[in-house]
């Protein structure tokens, strides 16, 4: 399966720790200590209660496909999906390393980091079918 080029991320002050962890193969999420909610995208202020009492936590890297679409008109077709993370939030991402016709709602997926076109940039988190969810 041919892979498409992935543009490098542009870290900002709020996401630098996330991208630094990604370089080390770790997936960080922000958790609000005030309302006990984990959120995505990594930001200092909780989008639910507006508290600044948030902290980085290690994400499990597990989730399920909530919804998806396949971009078939692209030069190299790819899947864009909402993945519901085991920690609760939904994340828009790509599903890789699978037959695009096998995608389904509720499919178990696991995190993988994909290198970008810039070898000095951090890798981008994406998801692939979980080993336990492989079709027979």
What does DSSP assign to residue 98? S
Identify the pLDDT of residue 136.
Answer: 44
Q: Region 31-58: what's the mean pLDDT? A: 96
Model confidence at 102: pLDDT above 60: yes
Tokens at 71, concatenated: 């971009």
Tell me, rounded to whole angstroms, the distance of Cα 135 from its chain centroid: 22
Tokens at 22, concatenated: 């990604």
Average pLDDT of the residues of the chain:
94
Identify the pLDDT of residue 15.
Answer: 94
Counting Cα atoms < 13 Å in the Cβ hemisphere of 104 gives 8
Identify the pLDDT of residue 3.
Answer: 79
Instruction: State the pLDDT confidence band at 45, using cuts at 50, 70 and 90.
Output: very high
Architecture of domain 60-136: Beta Barrel (2.40)
Q: Where in the chain is the domain with CATH 2.40.50.840?
A: 60-136
Identify the pLDDT of residue 42.
Answer: 87
């Amino acid at each position: 399966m041919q892979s498409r080029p992935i543009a490098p991320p542009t870290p900002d002050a709020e996401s630098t720790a996330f991208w630094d962890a990604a370089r080390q193969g770790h997936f960080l999420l922000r958790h609000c200590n005030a309302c006990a909610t984990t959120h995505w995208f990594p930001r200092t202020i909780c989008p639910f209660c507006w508290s600044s009492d948030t902290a980085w936590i290690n994400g499990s890297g597990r989730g399920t496909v909530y919804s998806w679409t396949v971009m078939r008109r692209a030069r190299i077709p790819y899947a864009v999906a909402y993945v519901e993370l085991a920690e609760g939030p939904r994340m828009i991402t790509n599903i890789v390393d699978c037959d695009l016709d096998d995608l389904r709602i509720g499919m178990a997926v696991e995190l993988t980091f994909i290198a970008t076109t810039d070898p000095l940039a951090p890798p981008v988190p994406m998801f692939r079918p979980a080993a336990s969810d492989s079709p027979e």
